[in-house]
Amino acid sequence: MSRAGRANGIDRTGIPVEAGVTGIDPSRRGEPVLTARDVSIEYEVEPPVKAVRGASITLHRGELLGLAGESGCGKTTLAYGLNRLLKAPALMTGGEVVFHDASGRDIDVVGLDGEALRTFRWSKVSMVFQGSMNSLNPVMSVRKQLHDVFTTHRPGMRRAEREARSAELLSLVGVDPARLSSFPHELSGGMRQRVMIAMALALDPQVMIMDEPTTALDVVVQRGIIREIMRLRERLGFAVVFITHDLPLLIEISDRIAIMLEGRIVEQGTAEEIYRTPSHEYTKRLLSSFPSLRGDRGDFIRTGVGSGAVEGGAA
Amino acid sequence: MSFYLRRVAFYLVTFWAAISLNFLLPRLLPGDPAAIMLGKLRRASGGRPLSEETVQAITSILGAGRDMSLWDQYVAYWGRLLQGDLGVSSTRYPAPVADLISAALPWTIFLVGTATVISFLLGIIVGAWVGWRRGTRLDHLVPITTVFQSIPYFWLALVLVAVFAVQLGWFPIVGGYDVFEFPAGPEWSWAFLGSAIYHAILPATTIVLSSVGGWLLGMRNMMVSTMSEDYVVTAEAKGLTSRRTLTRYAARNAAIPSLAGFGIALGFVVAGSIVMEQVFSYPGLGKLMIQAVQGLDYALMQGVFLVITLTVLVANFIMDLIYGFIDPRVRHNG
């Protein structure tokens, strides 16, 4: 899939009011980059909690897949499962996760072990975590934490190269490269999350999993970061799994959306399908639970289409 | 930089306050420590009159001196102190207190200091490892080491002496060095150093055994809670080697609270070994202090207290500096 072919998306984020409703042309969809089939994850506590039950998702190259659902529905657990980050007592009890590398090689993520798993992480699939405040080590400078990635994954890289690449990454996400020497507590929440995104970009991954990357931030910073993500995605062509409980946001930015409820994916479709013709009862309820700016429930903030009225640029 | 300047200033003030308190305390004591001390000295010297010099030293350190105002006494006290004059011991008459302390101090610092550092490092390293592998059989190390800590120290030390020194004869029973081989006292030679180390092994082992459990338990628990921090998950997701995640992300952060405790432990190196030095008849400061207290040797007591206060302050000062170096958050808010 060519990057130019996706230029359309930039405008979508640039003019967010009209966003989301633009469905994606099926002919432009790339081949899959990450396929999860029948993934089941259980927390082995007493009594066992089936956090994810037979979830299947397909992520296509360069696509932004939104994963929405209420708190506790298994979104984060599924995301951790995709990257094999689950720790006891969580256990993947079934299903397969296959990564389709750009080189044409298929990688069975569930079968990865030890060194192979370590090198797979971050270089193929990187993550941006929920807790933007705590995902950076408080006692290490930003520089060290960025360099860490290179010294581990690219041992041949010279110090000057690492330094140049780190500075480049920071400017890519709109952070002054002078901030390399800063410690996390000297950065604002938005900046920390930008640094996290820069770090996630370090090895040019093909997939980035973003677990509520903007939850702890106010809406203005949130918008800035979402735009940054969209811009970088257009430019670098990685696919994104974007996890959030903010369905209106997803409808605005996603190509496709999967709705999760009690560990199951109850509905999947393009953003437009989900928005215009939700089929599952839960999706309908989710959509109708967001009040419009005018306060009428079921009226959509951004376009108001939900009640039939067209409010175009009202937001 | 201003962080370090502020710390230095803070410790200078504390230092001054501690010394002034040391000046005031004997003067606030009921009775007249100086008169008691002079009486003891007179008896110790066999009834001969004391030199004017000695009387002056004692009064300036311990009070009395009815003809002097408190302020003049304070100035004289500082003057004596800065010359290193801490008075004369009555239990070891006519040895100056400063000489007694400087002879005893290296033994204590060498033995207890080394043992404390070893115990700390061992506890931190093993604790980090046990925490990293929590839920495995390594967890059993925690109760085992805690049992050693909960055994009364003197009893543990006596048992070890009974088994390893008396029955098996692997180690000497008492003393800091072989007094028969070196009748002239400590000297700078490899043979003497070897003898001192040989004598130090058993006491050091008892100290390590009885204190490592606390470090291990604290570190292990901090490790477990640090490992659930987001940045450790991030490090793992970054595909860092588990060795790097363990050392740079988990253990480093988990060790920070233990370091504060280590500072305090270092400060008590000098004071905290009284029982050990008594059990092993080790020629250190703890033994000196017991002698002083038993013999009501005020000058010696005061000198020992002064040294203890100073070491606590110096140890805390050093740990403060190191802490600021390890945790950048402290540097800016301190």
CATH code of A77's domain:
3.40.50.300
Query: Which residue of B232, B238, B322, B332 is the best one to mutate when testing the A interface, meaning the one whose CB has the most A CBs within 10 A?
Result: B238
Question: Do A76 and A199 fall within a single domain?
Answer: no
Quote the minimal CA–CA distance from A4 to chain B in Å: 30
Is residue A312 in a domain?
Answer: no
Give yes or no for a contact between A192 and A133, defined as CB atoms under 8 angstroms apart.
yes
Contact at CB, A136 and B236, closer than 8 angstroms: no
The predicted structure's pLDDT at residue B166: 85
Quote the minimal CA–CA distance from A185 to chain B in Å: 7
Contact list, A149 vs chain B (CB under 8 Å): 238-240
Question: Do A70 and A97 fall within a single domain?
Answer: yes
Q: How do the pLDDT tens digits run along chain A, 315 residues long?
A: 444 433 333 333 333 333 333 333 344 347 888 888 888 898 988 888 888 888 888 888 888 999 988 888 888 889 888 888 888 788 888 888 888 888 878 888 888 888 888 888 898 899 888 766 688 888 888 999 999 889 988 888 888 989 999 999 998 888 899 989 898 888 888 888 889 888 988 888 889 999 888 877 788 888 888 888 888 888 888 899 999 888 888 888 888 999 888 888 888 888 888 888 888 888 888 888 776 656 555 555 444 444 444 444 443
The predicted structure's pLDDT at residue B122: 94
CB of A150 within 8 Å of a chain B CB? The answer is no
The predicted structure's pLDDT at residue B272: 64
Give the count of domains, chain A.
Answer: 2
DSSP-based three-state secondary structure for A35: strand
Question: Do A91 and A236 fall within a single domain?
Answer: yes
Residues B297-318 have a mean pLDDT of: 85
> Is residue A23 packed enough to be buried (19+ CB in 10 Å), middle (13-18) or exposed (0-12)?
middle
Question: Do A250 and A198 fall within a single domain?
Answer: no
Is residue A245 in a domain?
Answer: yes
Sorted by sequence, the CB contacts under 8 Å of residue B137 that are 6+ apart come out as none
- Selecting from B230, B326, B328 the residue whose C-beta is nearest the C-beta of A129 gives B230
Contact at CB, B231 and A118, closer than 8 angstroms: no
Residues B241-257 have a mean pLDDT of: 88
Question: Do A180 and A67 fall within a single domain?
Answer: no
Is residue A42 in a domain?
Answer: yes
The predicted structure's pLDDT at residue B120: 93
Out of A204, A220, A252, pick the residue that ends a domain. Answer: A204
Question: Do A183 and A274 fall within a single domain?
Answer: no
Interface A:B, Cβ pairs < 8 A: 80
Is residue A314 in a domain?
Answer: no
> What is B99-327's CATH topology?
MetI-like fold (1.10.3720)
> 3-state DSSP helix/strand/coil percent for chain A, to nearest 5?
40, 25, 40
Quote the minimal CA–CA distance from B214 to chain A in Å: 25
Give yes or no for a contact between A252 and A263, defined as CB atoms under 8 angstroms apart.
no
Out of A148, A174, A204, pick the residue that ends a domain. Answer: A204
Contact list, B226 vs chain A (CB under 8 Å): none
The predicted structure's pLDDT at residue B13: 93
For helices B141-150 and B114-132, what crossing angle results, to 10°? 150
First to last CA, chain A: 33
Contact list, B244 vs chain A (CB under 8 Å): 148, 152
Quote the minimal CA–CA distance from A308 to chain B in Å: 44
The predicted structure's pLDDT at residue A293: 59
Q: Tell me which amino acid residue B317 is.
A: F
Please tell me the total number of residues recorded for chain A in this structure. Answer: 315
Give yes or no for a contact between A218 and A135, defined as CB atoms under 8 angstroms apart.
no
Question: Do A23 and A161 fall within a single domain?
Answer: no
Question: Do A159 and A104 fall within a single domain?
Answer: no
Question: Do A239 and A114 fall within a single domain?
Answer: yes
Contact at CB, A137 and B329, closer than 8 angstroms: no
DSSP symbol at B47: T
CA angle B305/B308/B309 to nearest 5° reads: 85
- Residue with the bigger pLDDT between B145 and B181: it is B145
CA angle A60/A260/A225 to nearest 5° reads: 60
Question: Do A303 and A213 fall within a single domain?
Answer: yes
CB of A127 within 8 Å of a chain B CB? The answer is yes
Give yes or no for a contact between B153 and B175, defined as CB atoms under 8 angstroms apart.
no
CB of A139 within 8 Å of a chain B CB? The answer is yes
Contact at CB, A135 and B249, closer than 8 angstroms: no
Contact list, B229 vs chain A (CB under 8 Å): 134
Is residue A269 in a domain?
Answer: yes
- Residue with the bigger pLDDT between B93 and A17: it is B93
- Residue with the bigger pLDDT between B63 and B248: it is B248
Sorted by sequence, the CB contacts under 8 Å of residue A193 that are 6+ apart come out as A128, A132, A213, A214, A217, A225
Residues B145-166 have a mean pLDDT of: 87
The predicted structure's pLDDT at residue B1: 61
Neighbours of A248 (CB within 10 A): 18
Per the structure, the complete domain to which residue A58 belongs is given by: 4-124+206-307
- Residue with the bigger pLDDT between B331 and A231: it is A231
Residues B93-110 have a mean pLDDT of: 84
Out of A182, A204, A226, pick the residue that ends a domain. Answer: A204
What is the three-state SS of A265-287?
A: EEEEEEHHHHHHCCCCHHHHHHH
Contact at CB, B239 and A185, closer than 8 angstroms: no
The pLDDT-based confidence of B216 (bands split at 50, 70, 90) is very high
The predicted structure's pLDDT at residue B274: 82
- Selecting from A118, A137, A196 the residue whose C-beta is nearest the C-beta of B253 gives A137
Give yes or no for a contact between A173 and A198, defined as CB atoms under 8 angstroms apart.
yes
Is residue A190 in a domain?
Answer: yes
Residues B21-26 have a mean pLDDT of: 82
Question: Do A110 and A152 fall within a single domain?
Answer: no
Quote the minimal CA–CA distance from A136 to chain B in Å: 5
What percent of chain B shows pLDDT beyond 90? Answer: 8
The predicted structure's pLDDT at residue B123: 93
Residue ranges matching CATH 1.10.3720.10 in chain B: 99-327
Contact at CB, B230 and A135, closer than 8 angstroms: yes
Question: Do A94 and A143 fall within a single domain?
Answer: no
Query: Which residue of A141, A152, A186 is the best one to mutate when testing the B interface, meaning the one whose CB has the most B CBs within 10 A?
Result: A152
Residues of A (183-202) whose Cβ lies below 8 Å from B: 183, 185-186, 196, 199
Q: Sort strands A256-261 and A49-60 into parallel, antiparallel or unpaired.
A: unpaired
Is residue A260 in a domain?
Answer: yes
Q: Which H or E run includes A106? A: strand A106-108
Per-residue model confidence as pLDDT tens digits over B26-72: 777 777 777 777 777 777 777 777 777 777 777 777 665 556 677 88
Contact list, A126 vs chain B (CB under 8 Å): 237-238
> Is residue A290 packed enough to be buried (19+ CB in 10 Å), middle (13-18) or exposed (0-12)?
middle
Is residue A315 in a domain?
Answer: no
